[in-house]
C-alpha cells in the first residue's frame, strides 16, 4: 500500500521538480534513518578492482560481454560525482578477462560520455568478438570509433552513434547536445546546443550512419514527429527524441518522442522502418519510460494505458494489441529479455531505504514467475542526475547479469549469478 501511495505522490509532483526533490530527499532521509540497514544481498561478484577508481558500463540495452562470454567492457574514471556529462575528464575504455582472474587492460579513451549511458560502448555485431564501437569527441566534433581489440586498428566516423544494428551494418543517432540540455545525464556537454532557441528544430531528429561507407543521412525530422498524429499539448511545446532501439532483425526501430509544455513532460512510443517510413504510434497515454524488443514484433515497455494504469506492458508493433504483464512489479525499471532462454530481467530505483531490487522473470505459457535475485544499497551522493541505476544486462548465454552498483562506496562493475537463473 505504501508503494502505491509513493507512486501517486511522485506522479503529482512531476510538474514541480524542485519541490519534488526537496520532498523526496527529506522523505528518504527520514525513512532511511528508520529502516534496517542493508548493503547488498544476493550472489553478487565484483569484476572491477578496488583501486579508488570508478567503473561502469552504461545502459541496459547493450551487453558488456563479447560473443564468447569471456571478455567484458567497462569505462573507468576518477569520479562520477562532479558532473553528469563532464567535458573535461577523459574516461578510459577497459576490457576485463573473466577467465584470467578479471585481469584487464586499457583499450583507449573517450571525451564524450555521461553517467547514465556512458559513451555507447558496445561490441560490434555480427560476431561481437573482434571489434567494439563507442563515441568520442575529436577535432571539435562528436564522432564514433570502431576499434579492433586484437590489432588496435581503428576507424573513425564523422558522427556519433546511439543504437547500433545487430548485423553491424548501420547505426541510428540523434542530437546529443540537445539531449544533454533537455535531459541531463543522457547527452554530451562538449558542444553548445545550436537548437536551443527552437522548440521544433528545423532539421533532422534522427540520422542513419552506414558503417560500411560512412555515409550519414537524415531519417526523420522533428517536424515529422510534431506533425504525426498531433495532440493539442504539442502545440507551442518543446520537442525532443530519445531512447532509440533497433529491432533484432535490423528492420525497424522504436524511439520515445517527448515534448514539454508548462513544465510537464509528455512521452509517447513511436516505431518506424529504419528509413523513416511506416511510422506507428504504439503508446500515447502521456507516459512511456523504458522499453525493449522482445522479438521483431513485440515490445515491452513501462508506461501508461489510461484504461489500466501504469505498469509493464507487452505490445505488438503496428497493432492495437497489448497485455499488462508482471502486475506485482509496480515501479519503473529497466527491462530486457535474455537471448533465447525464456527469461527477462528488470530492476527498481532506490526505495525509501535507498535500496534497489533486481528481478528475474521466467516466462511461461501461464503466469510468469518473478524472483528477486539481488538487492543493493545506493549512497545519497548517487542520486537524481548523478544516480547509479543497476541497468541490468544479460550475458550472451542468458546465465549471468551485469550491473553497475555503488554499495561499496563508488561505482563498480558487478555480475549477479543465481541458481534460479
Map grid coordinates 541497468 to a residue.
391
Q: Provide mean pLDDT across the span 387-411.
A: 96
Please count the other Cβ atoms lying within 10 Å of the Cβ belonging to residue 284.
19
In this structure, whether the domain defined by 54-332 belongs to CATH 2.60.40 is answered with no
Q: Is the pLDDT of residue 71 over 90?
A: yes
Please count the other Cβ atoms lying within 10 Å of the Cβ belonging to residue 72.
25
Cα dihedral 106, 108, 114, 115, rounded to 10, equals 0
Cβ–Cβ < 8 Å for 170, 208: yes
From 8-12, 148-152, 277-281, the region with the lowest mean pLDDT: 8-12
pLDDT for position 209? 98
> Per the structure block, which three cell numbers stand in for 183?
535531459
Q: Provide mean pLDDT across the span 69-94.
A: 95
Nearest one of 246, 364, 244 to 296, comparing CA atoms? 246
How confident is the model over 146-170, as pLDDT tens digits? 999 999 999 999 999 999 999 999 9
> Per the structure block, which three cell numbers stand in for 399?
546465465
**Sequential DSSP letters for 381-399:** TS-GGG------EE-TTSS
Q: Is the pLDDT of residue 10 over 80?
A: no
What CA–CA distance (Å, rounded) separates 339 from 320? Answer: 26
What CA–CA distance (Å, rounded) separates 334 from 59? Answer: 9
What CA–CA distance (Å, rounded) separates 78 from 91? Answer: 8
Q: Is the pLDDT of residue 367 over 90?
A: no
What CA–CA distance (Å, rounded) separates 24 from 46? Answer: 30
How confident is the model over 199-247, as pLDDT tens digits? 999 999 999 999 999 999 999 999 999 999 999 999 999 999 999 999 9
Amino acid at each position: 500500500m505504501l508503494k502505491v501511495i509513493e507512486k501517486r505522490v511522485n506522479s503529482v509532483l512531476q510538474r514541480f521538480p524542485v519541490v519534488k526533490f526537496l520532498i523526496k530527499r527529506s522523505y528518504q532521509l527520514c525513512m532511511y534513518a528508520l529502516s534496517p540497514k542493508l548493503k547488498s544481498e544476493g550472489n553478487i561478484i565484483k569484476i572491477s578492482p578496488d583501486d579508488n577508481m570508478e567503473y561502469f558500463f552504461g545502459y541496459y540495452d547493450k551487453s558488456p560481454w563479447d560473443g564468447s562470454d569471456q571478455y567484458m567492457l567497462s569505462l573507468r574514471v576518477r569520479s562520477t560525482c562532479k558532473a553528469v556529462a563532464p567535458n573535461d575528464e577523459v574516461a578510459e575504455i577497459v576490457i576485463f578477462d573473466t577467465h584470467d582472474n578479471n585481469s584487464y587492460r586499457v583499450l583507449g579513451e573517450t571525451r564524450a560520455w555521461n553517467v547514465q549511458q556512458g559513451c555507447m560502448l558496445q561490441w560490434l555485431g555480427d560476431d561481437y568478438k573482434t571489434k567494439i564501437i563507442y563515441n568520442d569527441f575529436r577535432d571539435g566534433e562528436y564522432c564514433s570509433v570502431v576499434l579492433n581489440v586484437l590489432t588496435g586498428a581503428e576507424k573513425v566516423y564523422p558522427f556519433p552513434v546511439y543504437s547500433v544494428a545487430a548485423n553491424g551494418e548501420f547505426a541510428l543517432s540523434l542530437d546529443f547536445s540537445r539531449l544533454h540540455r533537455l535531459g541531463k545525464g543522457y547527452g554530451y556537454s562538449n558542444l553548445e546546443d545550436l537548437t536551443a532557441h527552437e522548440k521544433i528544430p528545423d532539421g533532422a531528429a534522427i540520422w542513419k550512419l552506414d558503417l560500411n561507407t560512412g555515409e550519414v543521412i537524415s531519417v526523420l525530422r522533428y517536424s515529422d514527429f510534431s506533425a504525426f498524429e498531433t495532440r493539442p499539448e504539442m502545440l507551442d511545446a518543446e520537442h525532443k527524441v530519445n531512447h532509440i532501439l533497433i529491432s533484432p532483425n535490423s528492420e525497424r526501430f522504436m524511439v520515445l518522442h517527448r515534448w514539454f509544455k508548462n513544465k510537464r513532460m509528455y512521452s509517447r512510443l513511436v516505431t518506424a522502418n529504419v528509413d523513416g517510413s511506416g511510422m506507428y504510434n504504439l503508446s500515447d497515454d502521456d507516459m512511456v519510460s523504458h522499453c525493449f524488443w522482445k522479438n521483431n514484433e513485440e515490445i515491452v515497455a513501462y508506461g501508461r494505458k489510461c484504461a489500466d494504469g501504469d505498469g509493464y506492458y507487452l505490445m505488438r508493433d503496428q497493432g492495437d494489441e497489448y497485455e499488462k504483464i508482471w502486475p506485482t512489479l509496480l515501479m519503473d525499471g529497466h527491462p530486457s529479455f535474455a537471448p533465447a532462454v525464456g527469461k527477462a530481467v528488470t530492476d527498481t530505483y532506490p526505495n525509501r531505504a535507498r535500496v534497489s531490487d533486481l528481478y528475474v522473470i521466467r516466462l511461461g505459457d501461464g503466469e510468469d514467475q518473478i524472483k528477486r535475485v539481488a538487492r543493493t544499497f545506493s549512497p545519497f551522493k548517487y542520486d537524481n542526475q548523478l544516480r547509479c541505476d543497476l541497468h541490468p544486462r544479460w550475458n550472451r548465454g542468458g546465465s549471468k547479469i551485469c550491473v553497475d552498483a555503488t554499495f561499496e562506496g563508488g561505482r563498480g562493475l558487478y555480475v549477479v549469478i543465481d541458481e534460479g537463473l
